[in-house]
Amino acid sequence: MSQKDNLHATKSPSGDLGVYSKTLQYLYSQLPEYQRVGHSAYKPGLNNSLRLDAIFDHPHRAYKTIHVGGTNGKGSTSHLLAAILQGSGYKVGLYTSPHLVDFRERIRVNGQMVSEEFVVDFVEKYREQVEPIMPSFFELTMEMAFLYFAEQKVDVAVIEVGLGGRLDSTNIILPDLCVITNIGLEHTQYLGDTLPKIAAEKAGIIKPNTPVVIGEAGDDDVKQVFIDKANVENAPIVFAETIFADFSTQKINKGWRISTSEYPNLLNSLSGFAQEKNTKTVLAAVSELKKIGYQIPKEAVYDGFANVVQLTGLMGRWQVLQEHPKIVCDTGHNAHGIRYIVEQLKSEKYDKLHIVFGMVNDKDVNSILSLLPKNAVYYFTKPSNERALNENILAEQATNFGLHGQSFETVPQAIQSAQKNADENDFIFIGGSSFVVADALPEFI
């Protein structure tokens, strides 16, 4: 069990804390979790998911679904769509991963996390039936979400892809809409070592006769992969980059002011630079949903963008944790995402930049380090995760790119040192991995 979940379990007022804590321990220790242990937990293919789904009598068929994949931005896109649908009067399930502080963040209905009691009861009731299948952590928690959504009688569930697309556990659903946010180099050992190869894996979620929205296609070769797959499946395809001739943006203090002919003066409260692209993706998705019969009033779109954090509990996306000195965290963890973060750091005003940075050991470390600003004081650290890259190795590799600083064994230690060294007009950024952010958040919330 992660340090964050254990902290939550000891603080929660509900139920038998010992039983809930032991249930999480079982899920983490008995079922391999990719986010925690990496390659040994990766189980490509849908066989396990299909077998589990049969045990639970295919619960995802009881409600509508929307499938969201891509390299970056799929979490923000999923939360924004859920917020908009919620504001439209739908009862909305939301399944995302990984969690940051509390396991239950993965499974929400109208923004509320699944109860501890449901998690405990699910494992107790189905443990003997599912153990012979030897599912991964992701496979079983996905099915837990599907069953919970059915029991809660949701109208629609937004389902975020875990890893890839074609062979991802979630690819057993038959959604009303597929969304692919963008394509970047990630998990190349599983998905391929070129953008078109990765695009082909992501395109695996495109279903027959089902509309698909592509957020950022990138180069022409990637775009063609999506077009070819959509043609094979007879799936209507929309490229969000190309359909808004009148799309304009303005960066404001707390987010973005977006204007289109249909949505003038639309406030996106998520302030990361990547949200400009995510906004196009979400608006294109809303347009497609309306075409197939979803009732989504304009007010719900405005409210969803303005209040996504309050409506869904989204955390870790250019999240301001403190002012004076300003402290921001972001879960961007690959070169595609780090580029946005570096651009945003350039736009901030500060006297000195402090960066608390850690990574996991299966990322392309050199590609990411080569992007980071040299005019910063670094606090190299490692998250509390079995895949964590040793902070001293990270610091040593960083010197090859002109990045210098001290090493710290834990994220809280690194943050405390940065806070001690920073003046009130300085800026502290915390990131490099979702797990660094997960370790940081309890220090502020």
The strand pairing partners of 357, in sequence order, are: 380, 431
Residues 209, 125 within the same domain: yes
Asked if 173 contacts 66 with a C-beta cutoff of 8 angstroms, the reply is no
Q: Would you tell me how many other CB atoms lie within 10 Å of the CB of residue 131?
A: 12
**Segments in the chain below pLDDT 70:** 1-17, 32-44, 185-190, 192
3-state SS assignment for residue 157: strand
Residues 247, 330 within the same domain: no
Residues 100, 231 within the same domain: yes
103/341 Cα distance (integer angstroms)? 26
| pLDDT score recorded for residue 12 | 45
| Token couple for 173 | 């659903």
Residues 299, 218 within the same domain: yes
The model carries a pTM of 0.92
| pLDDT score recorded for residue 5 | 54
Domain boundary among 287, 312, 337: 312
Q: Would you tell me how many other CB atoms lie within 10 Å of the CB of residue 149?
A: 28
Give the closest residue to 230 by CA, choosing from 215, 208, 258.
208
Residues 269, 123 within the same domain: yes
Residue whose structure tokens are 């039983």: 19
Residue 31 within a domain: no
Asked if 13 contacts 117 with a C-beta cutoff of 8 angstroms, the reply is no
Which CATH number fits the domain that encloses residue 154?
Answer: 3.40.1190.10
Domain boundary among 249, 279, 312: 312
Query: Could you tell me the CA-to-CA distances from 233 to 181, 207, 208, 296 in Å, in that order?
Result: 19, 6, 4, 27
Residues 176, 54 within the same domain: yes
Residue 68 within a domain: yes
| pLDDT score recorded for residue 188 | 56
Tell me the residue range of the domain where 420 lies.
Answer: 319-443
Residue 1 within a domain: no
Residues 98, 236 within the same domain: yes
| pLDDT score recorded for residue 3 | 40
247/310 Cα distance (integer angstroms)? 26
| pLDDT score recorded for residue 329 | 98
> Which phi and psi (to 5°) does residue 16 adopt?
-85, 105
Residues 189, 299 within the same domain: yes
Looking at the structure of the chain, the number of domains it has is 2
Residue 4 within a domain: no
Residues 275, 399 within the same domain: no
Residues 390, 255 within the same domain: no
The CA-to-CA distance between both ends of the chain, in Å, stands at 20
Residues 269, 417 within the same domain: no
Asked if 297 contacts 85 with a C-beta cutoff of 8 angstroms, the reply is no
Residues 144, 244 within the same domain: yes
